[in-house]
Amino acid sequence: MVHGAEPVSVPPLAFMHRTLANGLDVYAAPDHTTPNVAIHVWYHVGSKDDPAGRSGFAHLFEHIMFKGTRHTKPETMDRLTEDVGGINNAFTADDVTVYHEIVPAHHLERLLWAEADRMAALKVDAHNFQSEREVVKEEYLQSVEAEPYGRFGEDIIKKSFVVHPYQRPTIGTIAELNAATLEDVRAFHNTYYRPDNATLVVVGDFQPAQLDAWVDKYFAPIPRPAGPVPRVTAREPARTREQRCREFYPNVPLPAVAVTYLGPAARSADALALEVAQEMLAGGNSSRLYQRLVYEKQLAQSVEFQADLREDMGLLVFRVVLAHGRSVAQVERALLAEIRRFAARPAGEAEVAKARNRLLTDRLHERETCQGKAAALAQAAVVLGDPRRVDTDLTRLQSVTAADVQRAVRTIFTEQNRLVFEGLPETMKETKR
């Protein structure tokens, strides 16, 4: 298997699935080797669904979900998790908002109660709303303003989409966060936080019949609202010619360059091949871009490549921070040459096998914990649209070939589908490049 001959066999994640009458999808995978249980609730709403003029709202709302319900005080989730040796957190992505907990298994019923409670009804007062909004503004300052390349990262996303709401940064802007009201919170919960727009995943030490009974008791009574969940319908037009742009920033110590391409959606048949491409280009110290740009030519301080495939479409992003004393033009030329070379001809099988082996090891590591298994199962069910892919992708991944990779990237890495964006230190404003 090491050189691509024998596939590694991984025990399948034996999971159960049912859909309640109110539309809630439930996935469960018992694992009695751990004393813990992981609970995930995925809502099919993300920052692309931010209301008009409320950039950052889906994420702000995620914070508000911890601020009290009709039955509970703010921070009840922490009482039910941290206080008993568990943990909870949540994150907002472009397409989904995810709430998750890990607790000692004998606390499972309490968490099901609490997740059902906040799905059914939030009740947040003005003080808690405003105080949490301040926290989110600090999160913005920390991740965007205080980070040397924070604003550059936000601008890459903004400039990469013309029409699609994917252009809005998940964290939002201070002005639009300030504009949000409690009324917006109520409307958003009513619109998107409903059982037929949610998926519950439970992995860990529990008895399936017991879990079913608890789910029936706590989630089944939540009614399904009438009418469909609104969906984003905007379609990003294909790019027709290369675009170039540039911004200057106060705290960027070394110039940076981003190159982005529009790509396929997460459910595309090419998704696994693009994951392998990501690994081959920038996955480790033997990856192409690290070897050429950082190691051999010492043109770059760092190089990253991410094939970020989302529900509606994908964005492939290269990000390079220059090594000291290098010219932006020189680094751009070298990066674009590597991308062209990668798309022009298939790689050797050994290079592809290396990437496959690394990805397989990563997925095995994910399966060490009930948290990792729950996340993988939810990702397959909600984002990929087929829960069985939590297992079948492991086999398919091991059969991705060099030809598959080249076929997938050839139509994406074209000149007309390219955006080149330079993020430069403010001190370069006066001087010629």
Partner 1 sequence: MKAHFILLVLLAWGASVLRAAEGQLPTPPAPAEPREMKLPQPAEKTLANGLRVVVVERPGLPLLSAEFAIKSGGEVDPPEAAGAMSMLSTLLMRGAGQRSARQLAEAIEALGGAIDTGAGWDATSARLTIMAPPAAAGLQLLKDAVRRPTLASAEVERLRAETLDELRVTMEEPGTLARAALARLIFGEEPYGHPLQGTPKSVARITRAQLVKLHATYFRPDNAVLVFAGKLTAAQGFAWAEQFFGDWQNPVTPLPPGRPAAPGGKPRTVIIDMPTAGQAAVLVGRAAIARKAPDYLPGLVANTVLGGGYSARLNAEIRVKRGLTYGARSELGAWRRGGCFVAAAQTRNSAGPEVATLMRAELDRLGAQPVPADELDPRTSTLTGAYGRALETNNGFVSELAHRAVQELPLSTLQAFPADVRAVKPEAVQTFAREHLRGADTCVVIAGKAEDFRASLERTFQDAVVIPQKDLDLEALDLRAPGSNR
Residues 224-243 binding partner 1 (CB under 8 A) are 225-227, 230
Which residues, numbered 176-195, are part of the site for partner 1 (CB under 8 A)? Answer: 183, 186-187, 189-191
Please tell me whether residue 247 binds partner 1 under the rule CB under 8 A.
Answer: no
Q: Which is nearer to partner 1, 129 or 413 (CB)?
A: 129
Q: Which is nearer to partner 1, 89 or 411 (CB)?
A: 89
Rounded Cα gap, residues 193 and 207, in angstroms: 28
Rounded Cα gap, residues 193 and 430, in angstroms: 51
How many residues in the shown chain lie near partner 1 by CB under 8 A? 105
Which residue in 12, 16, 73, 142 binds partner 1 (CB under 8 A)? 142
Q: Which stretch binds partner 1 (CB under 8 A): 1-9, 340-348, 380-388, 406-414?
A: 1-9
Q: Which is nearer to partner 1, 201 or 254 (CB)?
A: 254
Q: Which is nearer to partner 1, 240 or 431 (CB)?
A: 431
Please tell me whether residue 173 binds partner 1 under the rule CB under 8 A.
Answer: no
Instruction: Name the token pair of 206.
Output: 């529990």
Please tell me whether residue 327 binds partner 1 under the rule CB under 8 A.
Answer: no
Which residue in 16, 21, 135, 344 binds partner 1 (CB under 8 A)? 135
Please tell me whether residue 97 binds partner 1 under the rule CB under 8 A.
Answer: no
Shortest distance (Å) from residue 60 CB to partner 1 = 12
Rounded Cα gap, residues 16 and 169, in angstroms: 36
How far is the CA of 262 from the CAs of 19, 146, 218, 310, in angstroms? 35, 29, 42, 11
Which residue in 173, 268, 306, 369 binds partner 1 (CB under 8 A)? 369
Contact 196, 22 (CB under 8 A): yes
Amino acid at site 210:
Q
Please tell me whether residue 281 binds partner 1 under the rule CB under 8 A.
Answer: no
Shortest distance (Å) from residue 219 CB to partner 1 = 9
Describe the chain by its helix, strand, coil percentages, rounded to 5. 45, 20, 35
Positive or negative, the CA dihedral 190, 194, 196, 197 is positive
Which residues, numbered 384-423, are part of the site for partner 1 (CB under 8 A)? Answer: none
Q: Which is nearer to partner 1, 129 or 421 (CB)?
A: 129
Shortest distance (Å) from residue 124 CB to partner 1 = 10
| Residue 302, number of CB atoms within 10 A of its CB | 17
Which residue in 71, 158, 333, 433 binds partner 1 (CB under 8 A)? 71
Q: Which is nearer to partner 1, 242 or 362 (CB)?
A: 362
Please tell me whether residue 334 binds partner 1 under the rule CB under 8 A.
Answer: no
Q: Which stretch binds partner 1 (CB under 8 A): 305-313, 349-357, 382-390, 406-414?
A: 349-357
Q: Which is nearer to partner 1, 78 or 386 (CB)?
A: 78
Q: Which is nearer to partner 1, 259 or 280 (CB)?
A: 280
Please tell me whether residue 361 binds partner 1 under the rule CB under 8 A.
Answer: yes
Question: Distance between alpha carbon 272 and the CA centroid of its chain, in Å?
Answer: 16
Which residues, numbered 8-67, are part of the site for partner 1 (CB under 8 A)? Answer: 8, 10, 33-36
What single string gives the DSSP state of each residue in 67-106? S-BSS--TTHHHHHTGGGT-EEEEEE-SS-EEEEEEEEGG
Which residues, numbered 282-311, are part of the site for partner 1 (CB under 8 A)? Answer: 283-286, 291, 294-295, 298, 301-302
Please tell me whether residue 117 binds partner 1 under the rule CB under 8 A.
Answer: yes
Which residue in 17, 90, 113, 297 binds partner 1 (CB under 8 A)? 113
Please tell me whether residue 222 binds partner 1 under the rule CB under 8 A.
Answer: yes
Buried residues in 267-283 as b, exposed as e (16+ CB within 10 A): eeebbbbbbbbbbbbbb
Q: Which stretch binds partner 1 (CB under 8 A): 221-229, 257-265, 382-390, 403-411?
A: 221-229
Which residue in 102, 180, 281, 307 binds partner 1 (CB under 8 A)? 102
Question: Distance between alpha carbon 403 and the CA centroid of its chain, in Å?
Answer: 27
Rounded Cα gap, residues 390 and 16, in angstroms: 13
Question: Distance between alpha carbon 299 and the CA centroid of its chain, in Å?
Answer: 30
Among 107, 116, 77, CA closest to 198 = 116
Which residue in 14, 16, 21, 146 binds partner 1 (CB under 8 A)? 146
- Strand locations in 218-367, DSSP E? 243-249, 256-263, 300-309, 314-322
Which residues, numbered 75-94, are part of the site for partner 1 (CB under 8 A)? Answer: 75, 78-80, 82-87
Residue 267 CB contacts under 8 Å (≥ 6 apart), including other chains: 311, 383, 384, 385
Coil, strand, or helix at residue 206?
A: coil
Q: Which helix (H) or strand (E) holds 404?
A: helix 402-410
